[in-house]
Amino acid sequence: MALAPIMVATLAVGLSACGNSSSASRSTPTTGPVATVTSAPKTTTTLPAQVVTSLYFVRGTTLGVAVRHVNSSADPKYLAVQALLAGPVPSESAAGLGTAIPAGTTVRGLQIRGGIATINLSPEFVTPGPAPSLSARLAQIVYTLTAYSNVGKVVIEVSKVPLPAFAGVALTAPVGRSQVTAALPAVLLETPAVGSSLQGALPISGLTSFTGTYDVQLVDSTGRLLAAVTNSAVVGATFEQSLPFSTSKSGTGTLRVFAKPSATGQPTQTVTFTLPISP
């Protein structure tokens, strides 16, 4: 019985030692806060598809052509007419293009059916003016719309009322290009146009409204001739061909068109504008 306290004390020391060992083995290391990285969602910007459209402005009182890129997801014909009515941009004006369409003219409707475009314009379109200006005004609308393959003729309305006549042209029936010729230059060059760019070749297309010959020339910024052709012209003829050219670097080219009537005493008509060129 005297040994009991000693045994209890020894047992207590042993248990104490064991307890300390167990506590040390279960210690939990301190862990800092876990950082959470959130990536911003990736955004993709999709630009609307673009189509090239031809706008028929004027040089003086005869037609001249510019090309623009318009949104193809909307109706490109409607956008083309809106752009035409707004007039040339500064780069087109610098190339000699203007408009015979009165400021403030707007398009109020456009419908294409069976190859006929019916366009409804605001009253500003019929503002009085000199005969050559009126002819050019009518031609700008007709040629811009008939540049599309699915449009052959045009009906013009003002405030939803069909125009019976304009610029000496009867409009009681749809009209096409062959009925609107008073504003044609000797050579209407449709390709290339103001706003075009050339790479390795000079494609030309358009129509002639005189009898004689015409020259088309492309020169680089130093005046070196890159491509040239001389063709015969007759009234109402169309032309289309491609002329290859070689240049070592990109730059600015000058396109020159000379229309030379065969009739004695008639002056040569010249059209000149610049455009980007590359190899």
In a domain, 62, yes or no: yes
Domain region containing 75: 50-179
Cβ neighbours for 186, distance < 8 A, ≥ 6 positions apart: 208, 209, 210, 212, 214, 233, 259, 261, 269
In a domain, 111, yes or no: yes
In this predicted model, what pLDDT tens digit does every residue of 120-160 receive, in sequence order?
999 999 999 999 999 999 999 999 999 999 999 999 999 99
User: What's this model's pTM, rounded to 2 decimal places?
Assistant: 0.82
pLDDT of residue 14: 41
In this predicted model, what pLDDT tens digit does every residue of 56-81 receive, in sequence order?
999 999 999 999 988 766 788 999 99
Average pLDDT rounded to a whole number, residues 75-89: 94
Bridge partners of 271, per DSSP, are 257
Q: Of 179, 202, 223, at which residue does a domain stop? A: 179
In a domain, 208, yes or no: yes
In a domain, 4, yes or no: no
Q: How many domains does the chain have?
A: 2
d(CA 214, CA 257): 7
pLDDT of residue 49: 74
Same domain for 271 and 236: yes
User: Among residues 163, 94, 97, which one has the least CA distance to residue 134?
Assistant: 163
In a domain, 2, yes or no: no
CATH of the domain at 260: 2.60.40.2550
Same domain for 236 and 139: no
Both structure tokens of 165: 């006549």
- Identify whether the C-beta of residue 140 lies closer than 8 Å to the C-beta of residue 58: yes
Q: What three-state secondary structure class fits 194?
A: strand
Same domain for 167 and 250: no
